[in-house]
Structure 1
Amino acid sequence: MMNAQSMPLWTGEEACAAMQARSIGPLPARIEGISIDTRSLKPGDLFFAITGDARDGHDFVVQALEKGAAAAVIARDRAEALATACESLPGALFVVPDTLTAMEDLGRAARARSDARIIAITGSVGKTGSKEAMRLLLSRSGRTHASAASYNNHWGVPLTLARMPRDTQYGVFEIGMNHAGEIAPLARMVRPDVAIVTTVEAVHIEHFHSVSGIADAKGEIFLGLEPGGVAVINRDNPHFERLRAHALASDAGRVVCFGESEGADVRALRIIAKQDMTIVDARVFETPLTYRVGMVGRHVAINSLGLVAAIHALGLDLALAALALGDLTPPTGRGARDLLAFNGGELLLVDESYNANPASMRAALETLGQTEIGFRGRRIAVLGDMLELGDSGPAAHGELAHSVIGNGVDLVFAAGPLMKNLMAALPPERRGGYANLATGLEGVVVAALRAGDVVMVKGSRGIRMERIVEAVKKRAGTGSALAQEG
Structure 2
Amino acid sequence: MWDSQKIAALLKEELWGNSQALAFGCCIDSRLAKEGNIFFALVGEKVDGHDYIEAAWQKGASVVIAEKERLENRPAFIIPDGKALIQVESCLDAMQSLARSWSRQLGAKVVAITGSNGKTTTKDMVAAVLSRKYRVHKNLENQNNELGFPMTILNAPENTEILVLEMGMRGLGQIAFLCSIARPDIGVITNIGTTHLELLGTQENIARAKWELIEALPPGGFAVLNSEDEWSGKLAQKSSVKQFFYGLAGKFHKPNLRGLNLTPFGALGTHFTLESENWGQVPVFTSPVTVKLPLPGEHNVLDSLAALSVGMLLEVPLQEGCEGLATMELSRMRLELQPGIYESTLISDVYNANPTSMKASLQVLRERGGASTLAILGEMYELGETSREGHYEVGQAVADLGITELITVGKLAEETARGALARGLSPERIYSFPERAGAIKKAQELLARLSQGTWVLIKASRGMRMEEVTEALRRG
Fold-level similarity (TM above 0.5): yes
- Find the partner of 1:153 among 145, 159, 173: 145
C-alpha distance in structure 1 between counterparts of 2:220 and 2:301, whole Å: 28
C-alpha distance in structure 2 between counterparts of 1:164 and 1:294, whole Å: 28
1:416 aligns with 2:410: yes
What one-letter code is carried by the residue in structure 2 that aligns with 1:29? Answer: A
Q: Give the 3 Å change call, closer, same or farther, for CA 109–19 of structure 1 in structure 2.
A: same
1:280 alignment partner, SS class: strand
Shift of 1:333: 1.2
1:386 aligns with 2:386: no
1:144-293 to 2 correspondences below 5 Å: 144-245=136-237, 247-248=239-240, 252=241, 254-262=242-250, 263-274=254-265, 275-286=267-278, 287=285, 288-293=288-293
Shift of 1:404: 0.7
Shift of 1:82: 5.6
Q: Give the 3 Å change call, closer, same or farther, for CA 47–137 of structure 1 in structure 2.
A: same
Structure 2 contact 21–84 (Cα < 8 Å) conserved = no
- What per-residue deviation string (whole Å, max 9, x for no partner) do you get for residues 417-441 of structure 1? 0111111232334634221112332
Structure 2 contact 124–329 (Cα < 8 Å) conserved = no
Corresponding residue of 1:6? none
C-alpha distance in structure 2 between counterparts of 1:28 and 1:273, whole Å: 57
Q: Give the 3 Å change call, closer, same or farther, for CA 227–246 of structure 1 in structure 2.
A: same
Corresponding residue of 1:310? 310
Q: Give the 3 Å change call, closer, same or farther, for CA 264–435 of structure 1 in structure 2.
A: same
C-alpha distance in structure 2 between counterparts of 1:290 and 1:17, whole Å: 52
Corresponding residue of 2:323? 323
Structure 1 contact 25–91 (Cα < 8 Å) conserved = yes
- Aligned identity (percent) is 30
- What per-residue deviation string (whole Å, max 9, x for no partner) do you get for residues 28-77 of structure 1? 43223200112322232110112334433223223222322111101222
1:456 alignment partner, SS class: strand
Corresponding residue of 1:4? none
Structure 1 contact 187–222 (Cα < 8 Å) conserved = no
Structure 2 contact 21–82 (Cα < 8 Å) conserved = no
Structure 1 contact 294–329 (Cα < 8 Å) conserved = no
Corresponding residue of 1:457? 458
- Find the partner of 2:441 among 427, 440, 443: 443
Q: Give the 3 Å change call, closer, same or farther, for CA 11–284 of structure 1 in structure 2.
A: farther
What one-letter code is carried by the residue in structure 1 that aligns with 2:312? Answer: H
Unaligned runs of 5+ in 1: 1-8, 478-486
C-alpha distance in structure 2 between counterparts of 1:239 and 1:65, whole Å: 49
Corresponding residue of 1:337? 337
Corresponding residue of 1:428? 426
CA RMSD of aligned residues (A): 1.9
**Would you say how many aligned residue pairs link Structure 1 and Structure 2?**
457
Structure 2 contact 5–15 (Cα < 8 Å) conserved = no
Shift of 1:144: 1.1
What one-letter code is carried by the residue in structure 2 that aligns with 1:319? Answer: Q
Q: Give the 3 Å change call, closer, same or farther, for CA 40–247 of structure 1 in structure 2.
A: farther
Structure 1 contact 258–309 (Cα < 8 Å) conserved = yes
Shift of 1:136: 1.7
Structure 1 contact 411–429 (Cα < 8 Å) conserved = no
Corresponding residue of 1:353? 350
Q: Give the 3 Å change call, closer, same or farther, for CA 361–108 of structure 1 in structure 2.
A: same
Structure 1 contact 361–458 (Cα < 8 Å) conserved = yes
C-alpha distance in structure 2 between counterparts of 1:165 and 1:14, whole Å: 18
Structure 1 contact 335–350 (Cα < 8 Å) conserved = yes
Q: Give the 3 Å change call, closer, same or farther, for CA 26–211 of structure 1 in structure 2.
A: same
1:60-139 to 2 correspondences below 5 Å: 60-81=52-73, 84-87=76-79, 91-139=83-131
C-alpha distance in structure 1 between counterparts of 2:78 and 2:397, whole Å: 59
1:370 aligns with 2:362: no
What one-letter code is carried by the residue in structure 2 that aligns with 1:359? Answer: T
Shift of 1:313: 1.2
C-alpha distance in structure 1 between counterparts of 2:295 and 2:329, whole Å: 6
1:39 alignment partner, SS class: helix
Unaligned runs of 5+ in 2: 279-284
- Find the partner of 2:34 among 21, 42, 49: 42
Shift of 1:92: 1.3
Shift of 1:115: 2.7
Choose 64-73 or 455-464, whichever is displaced more.
64-73
Shift of 1:224: 2.7
C-alpha distance in structure 1 between counterparts of 2:273 and 2:199, whole Å: 38
Task: Write out the 4+ residue segments of structure 1 that deviate beyond 6 Å after TM superposition.
Answer: none
What one-letter code is carried by the residue in structure 2 that aligns with 1:324? Answer: G
2:19 alignment partner, SS class: coil
C-alpha distance in structure 1 between counterparts of 2:357 and 2:230, whole Å: 16
Q: Scaled by the length of structure 2, what TM-score is found?
A: 0.91
C-alpha distance in structure 1 between counterparts of 2:152 and 2:397, whole Å: 38
- What per-residue deviation string (whole Å, max 9, x for no partner) do you get for residues 307-333 of structure 1? 111111112211100111111344321
Q: Give the 3 Å change call, closer, same or farther, for CA 430–242 of structure 1 in structure 2.
A: farther
1:278 alignment partner, SS class: strand
1:371 alignment partner, SS class: helix
- What per-residue deviation string (whole Å, max 9, x for no partner) do you get for residues 229-254 of structure 1? 11111111111233315642xxx4x1
C-alpha distance in structure 2 between counterparts of 1:430 and 1:244, whole Å: 48
C-alpha distance in structure 2 between counterparts of 1:372 and 1:456, whole Å: 9
- What per-residue deviation string (whole Å, max 9, x for no partner) do you get for residues 250-290 of structure 1? xx4x1111112341111123322333211121213343432
- Find the partner of 1:14 among 6, 10, 27: 6
Q: Give the 3 Å change call, closer, same or farther, for CA 140–216 of structure 1 in structure 2.
A: same
Corresponding residue of 2:281? none
Structure 1 contact 219–247 (Cα < 8 Å) conserved = no
What one-letter code is carried by the residue in structure 1 that aligns with 2:328? Answer: L
C-alpha distance in structure 2 between counterparts of 1:138 and 1:62, whole Å: 40
What one-letter code is carried by the residue in structure 2 that aligns with 1:50? Answer: L
1:119 alignment partner, SS class: strand
Structure 2 contact 347–456 (Cα < 8 Å) conserved = yes
What one-letter code is carried by the residue in structure 2 that aligns with 1:468? Answer: V
- Find the partner of 1:58 among 50, 65, 72: 50
- What per-residue deviation string (whole Å, max 9, x for no partner) do you get for residues 445-466 of structure 1? 1221152100010001111111
Structure 1 contact 124–199 (Cα < 8 Å) conserved = yes
